[in-house]
Amino acid sequence: MLKIKQELLTGLAQALDQLSPGAGDKAAFESPKVAAHGDFAVTAAMQLAKPLKLNPRQVGEQLKAALLALPVYQRWVREIEIAGPGFINIRLTPAAKQQVIREVLEAGAGFGQQAANGQRLMVEFVSANPTGPLHVGHGRQAALGDAICSLYQTQGWAVHREFYYNDAGVQIGTLANSTQLRAKGFKPGDEQWPEAAYNGDYIQDIANDFLAKKTVHADDREFTASGDVDDLDGMRQFAVAYLRHEQDLDLQAFQVKFDHYYLESSLYTSGRVDAAVKKLVDAGKTYEQDGALWLRSTDYGDDKDRVMRKGDGSYTYFVPDVAYHISKWERGFTKVINIQGTDHHGTIARVRAGLQAAGVGIPEGYPDYVLHTMVRVVRGGEEVKISKRAGSYVTLRDLIEWTSKDAVRFFLLSRKPDTEYTFDVDLAVQKNNDNPVYYVQYAHARICSVLAAWGGEVDTLKEVDLSPLDSPAAQALMLLLEKYPAMLSDAARDFAPHDLTFYLRELAASYHSYYDAERILVDDDAVKKARLALVAATAQVLHNGLAVLGVSAPQKM
Q: Among candidates 466, 460, 526, 455, which has minimal Cα distance to 101?
A: 466
- In this prediction, residue 317 carries a pLDDT of 86
Q: How far, in Å, CA of 185 to CA of 494, rounded?
A: 52
User: Domain boundaries in the chain?
Assistant: 2-92, 170-257, 432-549
- In this prediction, residue 140 carries a pLDDT of 97
What does the pLDDT look like over 452-503, one tens digit per residue? 999 999 999 999 999 999 999 999 999 999 999 999 999 999 999 999 999 9
CATH number of the domain at 2-92, please? 3.30.1360.70
Quote the strand ranges of 359-514, DSSP E: 368-372, 375-379, 382-383, 421-424
Inter-residue contact 476 to 470 (CB < 8 Å): no
**Which residues on neighbouring strands pair with residue 224, listed in sequence order?**
215
For residue 121, give the H/E element and its range: strand 120-124
Evaluate whether 2-92 and 432-549 have a shared fold: no
Residue 316's alpha-carbon distances to 4, 131, 144, 312, 321, in angstroms, are 57, 20, 28, 11, 10
Q: Stretch 28-49: mean pLDDT, rounded?
A: 87
Q: How far, in Å, CA of 197 to CA of 213, rounded?
A: 23
Q: Which amino acid is at 158?
A: A
What does the pLDDT look like over 166-208, one tens digit per residue? 887 788 999 999 999 999 999 999 999 999 999 888 999 999 9
For residue 153, the number of C-alpha atoms closer than 13 Å in the C-beta half-sphere is 16
Q: How far from each other are the two terminal CA atoms of the chain, in whole angstroms? A: 32
- In this prediction, residue 346 carries a pLDDT of 86
- In this prediction, residue 1 carries a pLDDT of 67
- In this prediction, residue 200 carries a pLDDT of 87
- In this prediction, residue 84 carries a pLDDT of 85
Q: How far, in Å, CA of 400 to CA of 424, rounded?
A: 13
Q: Which amino acid is at 473?
A: A
Fold classified for 432-549: Isoleucyl-tRNA Synthetase; Domain 1 (1.10.730)
Q: Among candidates 194, 221, 222, 225, which has minimal Cα distance to 209?
A: 225
Percent of the chain with pLDDT over 70: 99
